């Protein structure tokens, strides 16, 4: 290299590349939009710089792979490139269908089609000012001499740098690493994309996602966000760093599943969210028998790549592909809250393979959830739950889900407080990352008047699964009579899920018992509108317009009475309605009916603010004693 070229490379910083409202500094890797820095790092920036080196020309996928993907890393290049392009286009507000900047050339590569202006800079990412003329009385020769001194110093510096490079090979890479990736302590598994081309195969992709989350959650070194929180991102095109921030994690795992008649192909990639850096990617091809073991196998590899200890390997149990398929369909309907359909597929799985413990637990779950949700008379439903869940534990005592199901049974049906707590603690012991177990234990602790512990467990559940139950923390605060905290928590939950009726109902309750009748009425109006009960919504609105308390209690009572005439309605609903209206005799009668029926949620008798006006009543105290609940202060 000629001396002049060396000097130029040191004295002329790379140009700023301007296109549209964007500016790219290839030297620092910074992208700005209208002067504001955009959070984009790693391969998306590298790809943009590579394309902008040759505007108007096709840069092939092979060139991108050779220049930006190391041969020494186990990376699924195709998926990695596609995801990097997705994030780059998102940052540029560009669209692959009608691009302004980056055009996809099918089966070849990409082309930058925007207009590029090269702006000189001063070395700090800022356009350099124009050269100044010599001041009056200053000799031009003086400037030339100064420039020669600079050249000499730069040249001697270059020689020293080459010497250091020859004698201390590798120091620069150690000190100035391209990407610094720390251990990943928290992880979200985004819903695996179904690439089969058949929407009917969604259940399989969702099921594989769920089983991978379950396998990863067994690792006590990782906090793994539960399925219900990550499923909201199914099919959503949002920057991964934004998703990671919303879920409170430092790692994102994403990928796809393609299932054919006899084979399964899975692509996965792990991304370190703080720097948007690809850590690892890999493809797996298995027949249907081998696919059953994939979640455990992948979780071991992912733990290694995340730089945390792997979970102990579990005993591998053979499951037939047909039974596994039926089980995944059952879970698909269970998560959709279609419990009648889920029962059919779980039952089919147990018929195909009678020793399939998870399928027996799923069948028990479906019956138990029907009872807890008060969609059916509880006695028969709970008996089925108990029978099927005990069968699951007989086959595999290591299932945390089955122990949690038994905790629900002992708590809500048997009113056996000692066994309920023991089963909750066993579920948490087996899987400390199991959000539902912490949630169930929080309910138990609330009923036992162990308030601080109850709040702590619910906070832990929310930390693991922040979007599963947007109402749960607010409900704990209501039961503790901390209405201000409840309102704050439930308002945040309503922002996440503005049409979630449970969240709105508990927000209404918090407002009502805090004496904020106007806000309670407005919330009730939203509830009635979402339910399609426009008459009740109009009634509430008219009362609010007149400046009087809205008759929400009467409207809810009328609604429950009509529902009772058409199908099953727990008497506990009516007890709450009467209590809001301060109708003592009818409230007590409905509570006694709830006791005779063993209504599941009667366990919160002392923690429901609506019943506070009954605490001195002998009939109320008799119910508390007969249930064996520890008396509340």
pLDDT of 262: 82
Q: What percent of the chain has pLDDT over 90?
A: 44
Q: What is the CATH number of domain 15-119?
A: 1.10.10.10
Q: Which two tokens stand for residue 579?
A: 């209590």
Q: Which two tokens stand for residue 367?
A: 């019956």
Checking if the pLDDT of 591 tops 50, the result is: yes
Written as one string, the DSSP assignment of 79-140 is HHHHHHHHHHHHHHT--SSS-SSEEEETTTEEEE-S--EEE-B-SSSSBPPPPPPPPTT--H
Max mean pLDDT range (35-44, 135-144, 464-473): 464-473
pLDDT of 241: 86
Q: Which two tokens stand for residue 256?
A: 């796809």
Residues 332 and 227: their CA atoms lie apart, in Å, by: 12
pLDDT of 122: 47
Q: Are strands 102-105 and 117-119 parallel, antiparallel or unpaired?
A: unpaired
pLDDT of 458: 95
pLDDT of 539: 92
Phi, psi of 176 (to 5 degrees): -115, 65
Written as one string, the DSSP assignment of 577-612 is HHHHTT-HHHHHHHHHHHHHHT-GGGGGTTT-GGGG
pLDDT of 169: 39
Q: Which of these ranges, 12-16, 268-272, 398-402, has the smallest mean pLDDT?
A: 12-16
Q: Which residue has the higher pLDDT, 521 or 89?
A: 521
Q: pLDDT per residue over 212-257, tens digit each?
A: 998 888 888 888 888 888 888 888 878 888 899 888 898 999 999 9
Q: What is the largest CA-CA distance in the chain?
A: 107
For 490, residues 6+ apart whose C-beta sits below 8 A from its C-beta are 470, 471, 474, 503, 506, 507, 510
Specify the long-range contacts of residues 535-542, CB closer than 8 Å, at least 24 apart.
Answer: none
Architecture of the domain defined by 470-569: Alpha Horseshoe (1.25)
Q: Which residue has the higher pLDDT, 504 or 241?
A: 504
Q: Are strands 186-189 and 251-259 parallel, antiparallel or unpaired?
A: parallel
Specify the long-range contacts of residues 503-506, CB closer than 8 Å, at least 24 apart.
Answer: 503/470, 503/471, 503/474, 504/530, 505/471, 506/471, 506/474, 506/475, 506/478
pLDDT of 141: 44
Q: Are strands 36-38 and 277-287 parallel, antiparallel or unpaired?
A: unpaired
Scan for tokens 């006791």, then name that residue: 595
Q: pLDDT per residue over 311-355, tens digit each?
A: 666 667 788 999 999 999 999 998 888 999 999 999 999 999 999
Residues 91 and 58: their CA atoms lie apart, in Å, by: 21
Beta pairing partners, 534: none
pLDDT of 615: 93
For 278, residues 6+ apart whose C-beta sits below 8 A from its C-beta are 42, 43, 75, 80, 84, 269, 270, 271
Checking if the pLDDT of 117 tops 70, the result is: yes
Mean of the pLDDT values across residues 60-64?
85
Q: Which of these ranges, 98-112, 130-144, 337-351, has the smallest mean pLDDT?
A: 130-144
Mean of the pLDDT values across residues 91-112?
82
Q: Which residue has the higher pLDDT, 592 or 75?
A: 592
pLDDT of 352: 96
pLDDT of 518: 93
Q: Which residue has the higher pLDDT, 309 or 165?
A: 309
Residues 370 and 386: their CA atoms lie apart, in Å, by: 13
pLDDT of 548: 85
Q: Which two tokens stand for residue 392?
A: 């699951």
pLDDT of 311: 64
Residues 429 and 218: their CA atoms lie apart, in Å, by: 10
pLDDT of 438: 96
Of 392, 325, 331, whose CA–CA distance to 356 is shortest? 392
Round the average pLDDT of the chain to a whole number and report it: 83
pLDDT of 70: 55
Q: Which two tokens stand for residue 358?
A: 């998870």
Checking if the pLDDT of 525 tops 60, the result is: yes
Band of pLDDT at residue 390, cut at 50, 70 and 90: very high
Phi, psi of 74 (to 5 degrees): -85, 85
Q: Which residue has the higher pLDDT, 48 or 633?
A: 48
Mean of the pLDDT values across residues 64-81?
64
* CATH superfamily label, 186-316: ABC-type transport auxiliary lipoprotein component (3.40.50.10610)
Query: Hey, how many other C-beta atoms are within 10 angstroms of the C-beta on 575?
Result: 26
Written as one string, the DSSP assignment of 342-371 is HHHHHHHHHHH-TT-HHHHHHHHHHHHHHH
Mean of the pLDDT values across residues 558-575?
88
Residues 337 and 316: their CA atoms lie apart, in Å, by: 30
Q: Using the 8-state DSSP alphabet, how is residue 448 labeled?
A: T
Q: pLDDT per residue over 178-212, tens digit each?
A: 445 668 888 999 999 998 888 889 999 999 999 99
* Sequence spans of domains, the chain: 15-119, 186-316, 470-569
Mean of the pLDDT values across residues 257-268?
89
Q: Which residue has the higher pLDDT, 342 or 549?
A: 342
Phi, psi of 13 (to 5 degrees): -60, 155
Residues 53 and 58: their CA atoms lie apart, in Å, by: 11
Written as one string, the DSSP assignment of 282-335 is EEEEEEHHHHTTHHHHHHHHHHHHTTSPPPPPPPP----HHHHHHHHHHHHHHH
pTM of the predicted model as reported, rounded to 2 decimal places:
0.68
């Amino acid at each position: 290299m000629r001396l002049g070229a060396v000097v130029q490379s040191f004295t002329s910083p790379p140009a700023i590349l301007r296109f549209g409202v964007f500016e790219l500094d290839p030297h620092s890797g910074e992208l700005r939009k209208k002067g504001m820095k955009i959070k984009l790092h790693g391969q998306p920036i590298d790809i943009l710089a590579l394309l902008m080196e040759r505007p108007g020309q096709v840069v092939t996928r092979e060139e991108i792979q050779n220049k930006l993907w190391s041969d020494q890393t186990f990376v699924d290049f195709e998926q990695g490139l596609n995801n990097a392009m997705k994030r780059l286009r998102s940052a540029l507000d560009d669209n692959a269908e009608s691009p302004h900047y980056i055009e996809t050339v099918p089966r070849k590569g990409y082309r930058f089609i925007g207009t590029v202006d090269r702006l000189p800079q001063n070395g700090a990412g800022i356009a350099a000012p124009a050269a100044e003329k010599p001041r009056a009385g200053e000799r031009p020769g003086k400037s030339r001499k100064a420039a020669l001194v600079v050249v000499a110093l730069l040249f001697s510096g270059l020689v020293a740098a080459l010497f250091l490079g020859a004698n201390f090979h590798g120091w620069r890479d150690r000190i100035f690493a391209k990407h610094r990736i720390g251990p990943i302590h928290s992880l979200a598994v985004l819903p695996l994309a179904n690439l089969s081309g058949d929407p009917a195969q969604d259940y399989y992709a969702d099921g594989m996602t769920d089983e991978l989350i379950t396998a990863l959650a067994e690792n006590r070194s990782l906090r793994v966000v539960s399925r219900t929180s990550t499923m909201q991102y199914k099919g959503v095109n949002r920057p991964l760093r934004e998703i990671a921030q919303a879920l409170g994690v430092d790692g994102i795992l994403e990928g796809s599943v393609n299932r054919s008649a006899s084979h399964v192909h899975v692509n996965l990639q792990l991304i370190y969210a703080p720097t948007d850096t690809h850590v690892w990617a890999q493809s797996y091809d298995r027949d249907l028998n081998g696919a059953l073991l994939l979640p455990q196998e992948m979780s071991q590899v992912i733990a290694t790549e995340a730089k945390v200890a792997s979970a102990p390997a579990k005993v591998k149990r053979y499951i037939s592909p047909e039974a596994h398929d039926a089980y995944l369909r059952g879970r698909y309907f269970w998560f959709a809250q279609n419990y009648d359909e889920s029962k059919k597929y779980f039952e089919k799985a147990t018929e195909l393979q009678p020793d399939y413990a998870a399928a027996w637990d799923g069948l028990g779950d479906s019956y138990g959830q029907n009872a807890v949700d008060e969609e059916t008379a509880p006695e028969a439903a709970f008996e089925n739950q108990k029978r099927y869940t005990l069968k699951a534990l007989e086959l595999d005592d290591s299932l945390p889900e089955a122990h949690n199901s038994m905790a629900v049974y002992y708590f809500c049906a048997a009113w056996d407080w000692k066994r309920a707590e023991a089963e909750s603690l066993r579920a948490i012991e087996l899987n400390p990352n199991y959000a539902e177990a912490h949630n169930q234990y929080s309910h138990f602790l609330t009923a036992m008047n162990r308030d601080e512990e109850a709040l702590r467990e619910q906070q832990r559940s929310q930390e693991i699964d922040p979007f599963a139950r947007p109402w749960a923390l607010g409900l704990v605060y209501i039961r503790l009579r901390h209405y201000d905290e409840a309102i704050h928590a439930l308002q945040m939950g309503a922002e996440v899920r503005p049409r979630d009726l449970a969240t709105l109902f508990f927000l209404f309750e918090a407002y009502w018992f805090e004496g904020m009748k106007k806000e309670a009425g407005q919330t009730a109006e939203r509830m009635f509108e979402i339910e399609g009960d426009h008459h009740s919504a109009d009634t509430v609105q008219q009362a609010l317009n007149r400046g009087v308390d809205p008759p929400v209690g009467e409207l809810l009572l009328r609604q429950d009475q009509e529902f009772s005439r058409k199908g099953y309605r727990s008497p506990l609903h009516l007890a709450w309605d009467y209590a809001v209206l301060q109708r003592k005799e009818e409230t007590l009668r409905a509570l006694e009916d709830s006791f005779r029926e063993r209504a599941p949620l009667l366990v919160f008798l002392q923690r429901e603010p609506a019943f506070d006006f009954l605490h001195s009543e002998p009939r109320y105290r008799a119910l508390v004693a007969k249930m064996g609940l520890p008396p509340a202060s």
